[in-house]
Chains A and B, each alone.
Chain A
Amino acid sequence: MSAEDAFRAALLDPAAPVPEGLTDGAGRPAGRRYAVYRNNIAASLTEALETGFPAITRLIGAQAMRGLAGSFLRAHPPRTPLIATYGRDLPDFIAGLPALSHLPYLPDVARIDLMMRQSYHAGDHAPLAPEALAALDEEALEAQVLELAPSVRLLSSRWPVLQVWRYTMGRTSEKPKGGAETLAILRAEFDPEPVALPPGAYAFLTACGSGAPLGRAIAAAGPGFDLGATLSLLFTHRALVRAPKGPDPC
């Protein structure tokens, strides 16, 4: 193995000996000089995960987060130089860790952290104006497809996960209570906002996201669904895309 190959092979393995063929510039073995590179890699990826998963870092503490990041980055090193996308596998990775199984809501909290970041970097769009729907008759309305903005994310959890996330991030002083929650992440301009949704509204948005026309999405939402309140929420957060197709009225 060339010194170059050996250099690569030992980078992610803290237990591997320092490769041969590396010196301090005066012929002496490189020793801990090699560790500078090893540390830079682990430290920079750990920092990326701490930044990318702020609620997880707060929930388990800085020290546990460093341990979690260390084992994650060795099992799942980044696949692209886009560090802003790093950590997509962390929620499932957490779900598989016996040491964190006493916090069963943790994977879903990680999903909120991840979705907030994805929403932040998602593409921009021209928002649909409320008047566009008001102009339609009932039949046309039922056939209308509502396209969700690229920054919209949806999550359904067995846990009161949004309450946990808000409490952890210091956005509320109310302690989390109750059970399952459904939520959306919406981005009116630049800052994503997690919003609690009734289960019907979550089913409605999930149907819209899969391309169902309004009539079918309403049916999917089930009884008790408040269409007016849901549309009002979506318009307030500019969460719908202006339809690109169809004849221009002028």
Chain B
Amino acid sequence: MFDLTREGLPNRPGVGFKARHFEALMADPGPVGWLEIHAENYMGAGGRPQAQLAALAERFPISVHGVGLSIGGAEPLDADHLARLKALVDRIAPARFSEHLAWSTHDTSYLNDLLPLPYTEETLARVAGHVSEVQERLDRQMLLENPSSYLAFTESEMTETEFLSELVVRTGCGLLLDVNNVFVSATNLGYAPESYIEAFPLAAVGEIHLGGHDSDEDDRGAPLLIDSHGRAVADPVWALLAMVLRRTGPLPLLVEWDTDVPDWPVLAAEAERAGRALDRLGAGQ
């Protein structure tokens, strides 16, 4: 079994790395203590992406965040993709590796989205098998991220928090708690985000994600939040983060901004806000 350690990443703010911020980050990272990269963007043979990653990895702890492994998928894991991940992880020795409770590959087609699965004994056994396979292949513990949901499966037999808790027990994996996803899913499926946090196995959390969401409506005019990562983190998500941190103590906090990526000072300001959330914790409650 793997150690559940939080020593991999510092308990400081990090940001999702975007190539356009490279010079600014190298000149002055401000509050940023670590970076997360999307694994699939760094699987090319060479050129600027690999040169930037090598320079960043010398300077910052790196979290490798996969989006394409399809861990929740019905099909076996893609051996070629697992080999690419292994090569990347071996090359840069990241402080963390994480992936999603979702699927993205179907019949050899890669659909480029994080798609949902029903929570049943059958899917639990399958996902646990995939998580164990990844951890053995990469020879390290992985963190699994809770998804943002727009709908629910009638065939689900357990809640998402029960499903994730059982995965932790069966595989020894850690969890990446995306607080924005909690808020998005809770709003979309009509439950209180605080009750989700209360049921979440917080002791297994090794990293937190924060991101912005967009607002839409479903057929009946009910709010439908979209996990777009295209704007600042919403106030209720910051409030939910404070609730989580009061229970867990300090954790590595990542700000994600993937679409309509802003200039560096805007993202740095979000990271500073995350830093203040950690500072308030240190100041004592």
A residues adjacent to B (C-beta < 8 A): 2-4, 7-8, 11-12, 21-26, 28, 30-34, 36-37, 40-41, 44-45, 48, 77-84, 120-124, 150-151, 187, 190-191
Given A4-B117, A21-B153 in contact, is the A26-B112 Cβ separation under 8 Å?
no
CB-contacts of B132-177 with A (<8 A):
150-155
Cβ of B107: which chain A residues have Cβ within 8 Å of it?
Answer: 8
When distances are taken between beta carbons in the complex, the residues of chain A under 8 Å from B40 are 81-84
Supply 20 further A-B pairs (C-beta < 8 A) apart from A37-B150, A81-B81, A83-B40.
Answer: A3-B155, A4-B118, A11-B106, A22-B154, A23-B152, A28-B220, A30-B150, A32-B219, A33-B218, A36-B150, A37-B115, A41-B112, A44-B112, A78-B110, A79-B109, A80-B80, A81-B69, A83-B112, A124-B50, A191-B48
Interface residues on B, range: 35 or more
Minimum distance in angstroms from B1 CB to a CB of chain A: 29
State whether the Cβ of B47 lies closer than 8 Å to any Cβ in chain A: yes
Point out which of B70, B81, B219, B224 has the most chain A C-beta atoms below 10 A from its C-beta: B219
Question: Which A-chain residue is minimally distant from B190 (CB atoms)?
Answer: A25
Point out the residue from B48, B105, B113 that lies within 8 Å of A37, measured CB to CB.
B113
The residue of chain A having its C-beta at the shortest distance from the C-beta of B50 within the complex is A124
Which residues of chain A are within 8 angstroms of B216 by Cβ–Cβ distance?
Answer: 36
Q: In the complex, what residues of B have CB within 8 A of residue A12's CB?
A: 109, 111
Considering the chains assembled together, what is the distance between the CA atoms of A80 and B81 in angstroms? 8
Q: Does the CB pair B150–A81 fall under 8 Å?
A: no
Is B154 a contact of A24 with CB atoms below 8 Å? no
A-B contact pairs, 6 of them (CB 8 A): A8-B115, A11-B106, A48-B112, A80-B68, A80-B78, A122-B46
User: Does B215 reach chain A (CB closer than 8 Å)?
Assistant: no
Query: Cβ of B274 < 8 Å from any Cβ of A?
Result: no
- The distance in angstroms between the C-alpha atoms of A191 and B47, with both chains bound, is 8
Instruction: State the CA gap A122–B50 with chains docked (Å).
Output: 10
